[in-house]
Amino acid sequence: MTTRLTLLLLATPIVAVLCVPFYNRVTPTLDGWPFFYWWQTGCVLAGALLTGAAYLLDARAVRKAAVRSQEGRTLCAGERARHGGIAMAARRSQRH
């Protein structure tokens, strides 16, 4: 059950890392670290957070689909039971 939002969350860190000309520089520095290194570190951390969020969204969608599917099965089973009961009553009336 993959949604567009889930795909967007998964694609964002990949695209951010693939835009090398954007972060292939030394300045600005952060606590002595060149921009390249803290950008990569930030992408790893953001990727972990976005992947976790995508998992939670996908798991939620799967649970909702399972509930809807289970409700559908319950209705189908009820329909079958009702029709089965009608058929059994018809067979009993034919015997007598």
CA 70 – CA 5 distance, rounded (Å): 25
pLDDT at 49: 95
- Element of type H or E holding 19: none
pTM listed for this prediction: 0.62
In terms of residue numbers, what domain contains 35? 4-95
Quote the number of domains for the chain. 1
CA 74 – CA 5 distance, rounded (Å): 31
pLDDT at 44: 93
Q: Is the pLDDT of residue 75 over 70?
A: no
Alpha helices in the chain (DSSP H): 4-18, 20-23, 35-95
Q: Is the pLDDT of residue 94 over 60?
A: yes
Over range 72-77, report the average pLDDT.
56
Which pLDDT tens digit goes with each residue over 15-55?
Answer: 988 888 888 888 888 888 888 888 888 999 999 999 999 99
Count other Cβ atoms within 10 Å, centred on residue 39: 19
